[in-house]
Structure 1
């Protein structure tokens, strides 16, 4: 009975192929920043597959693929930098009614990194309990992704339906929690706030048609109650 040596590169290659196919799709849709993230993740997996491969022919295959996708990633990066320099870079995502997979991390990951130190949120509807919860989830995402963030600014409106004290109390709790991590939360209230956007000190501006409140209500003990990628969304 012949001994066989296990080669785990096949499974890694399959995962890499899936991510790199997604990268190519995003590139064709001109969602270049998101495409770059996928290219990098796929390239990292190909490197792992190469390291774990025992077959010389497959090693050559992985090296060829690495060269191909590293070249594509570099070309996309160059395009993004040229568009940024010209002030013309624009990326758009359409969220369909009842679609899933649109958590803050899934949507915003390409733009939030260790270079972000300050974030500004303008959203008139951070008022009711579930809306403040959305803002808290967004803050958790920022803290997780941006290890050097030092301040988050929120501009919103007062709750006009008798829950203003509760709104302020909930936001103050978030402020105290962020302060424990040496992150400042600056809260401003405006009676004439209409635009909904997120701005980063790295230059990115994210316009959101419905603001942070684009998730539909999820029933308790149903998928999507905690995992926002599983929660159906409103069209935006």
Structure 2
């Protein structure tokens, strides 16, 4: 779009601000700017005489309408979940608490980066849990580009080497889906917290390791965590805008 005055110039200014607010995950403010900018762009399209330019405006309007809808849905989640603080109590031996159930509604087109702080992503089943979580992120987050894992080293040098190798294999696999995994080791980490750059913060008492071992490799729950029995823990979900 070229700025030659009138509604077009105003639309450019407002939509530029909308894109900036969008990148900052300020959903409500971005939505308001998208809606205002779209109205101005519609007005500009009506006034312009050049057919190619009118077609270009219509295409941009469609693109911004899609993004405005994403902002609307994201803002709705903040209002319905974040500001009321969702707390999930998982009872011992209960089922139906897969990562999809806990995190699924929070993963959408606004997500581009995830930070996982979990001291115990070391043993094979814990690393499998992390892999399962990564699979969900990639499946439901089309714009995900970065995952950062902060965890502790296995105290055994040999086991740490194996730990590092397994995480390296996950890193290589994620790269095939245009997602970069960064692993940071800390010997003093104790927190268990997951942060989405879309604003969601999830605290789980046991971190990702709240599932019990399945009875065998040939039972419900081995591959689908929905059927796995759980340890007792509490999940707290809120949005950073609700605690600002």
When normalised by structure 2's length, the TM-score is 0.62
Q: Deviations over 1:152-200 (max 9, x none)?
A: 0000000113401000000000000001111100110011111101000
Task: Compute the displacement of 1:108 (Å).
Answer: 0.8
Partner of 2:203: 207
Partner of 2:127: 132
CA gap 1:119/1:93 in 2 versus in 1, 3 angstroms: same
* Stretches of 4+ aligned residues off by more than 4 angstroms: 77-80
Partner of 1:235: 232
Task: Compute the displacement of 1:82 (Å).
Answer: 8.5
Q: For structure 1, which runs of at least 5 residues remain unmatched after alignment?
A: 1-73
Task: Compute the displacement of 1:89 (Å).
Answer: 3.9
Partner of 1:69: none
Q: Do structure 1's residue 226 and structure 2's residue 207 form an aligned pair? A: no
Task: Compute the displacement of 1:231 (Å).
Answer: 0.6
Rounded to whole Å, the distance in 2 between the matches of 1:158 and 1:79 is 36
Partner of 2:64: none
Partner of 2:167: 171
Partner of 2:144: 149
3-state SS of paired residue (2:184): strand
When normalised by structure 1's length, the TM-score is 0.64
CA gap 1:176/1:196 in 2 versus in 1, 3 angstroms: same
Partner of 1:97: 92
Rounded to whole Å, the distance in 2 between the matches of 1:165 and 1:96 is 35
Q: Do structure 1's residue 118 and structure 2's residue 109 form an aligned pair? A: no
Higher strand share: 2
Q: Do structure 1's residue 216 and structure 2's residue 176 form an aligned pair? A: no
Rounded to whole Å, the distance in 2 between the matches of 1:208 and 1:180 is 29
3-state SS of paired residue (2:126): helix
Rounded to whole Å, the distance in 1 between the matches of 2:180 and 2:154 is 23
3-state SS of paired residue (1:139): helix
CA gap 1:80/1:174 in 2 versus in 1, 3 angstroms: closer
Task: Compute the displacement of 1:115 (Å).
Answer: 0.9
CA gap 1:221/1:186 in 2 versus in 1, 3 angstroms: same
User: What root-mean-square deviation, in Å, do the aligned CA atoms of Structure 1 and Structure 2 show?
Assistant: 1.9
Partner of 1:64: none
CA gap 1:78/1:127 in 2 versus in 1, 3 angstroms: closer
Rounded to whole Å, the distance in 1 between the matches of 2:136 and 2:77 is 28
3-state SS of paired residue (2:218): coil
Rounded to whole Å, the distance in 2 between the matches of 1:165 and 1:217 is 24
Rounded to whole Å, the distance in 1 between the matches of 2:135 and 2:85 is 26
Rounded to whole Å, the distance in 2 between the matches of 1:193 and 1:110 is 28
Identify the range of structure 1 (199-208 vs 158-167) with the bigger mean alpha-carbon deviation.
158-167
Partner of 1:71: none
* Count of equivalent residues: 158
Partner of 1:81: 79
CA gap 1:82/1:224 in 2 versus in 1, 3 angstroms: closer
Rounded to whole Å, the distance in 2 between the matches of 1:78 and 1:180 is 33
Q: For structure 2, which runs of at least 5 residues remain unmatched after alignment?
A: 1-71, 234-244
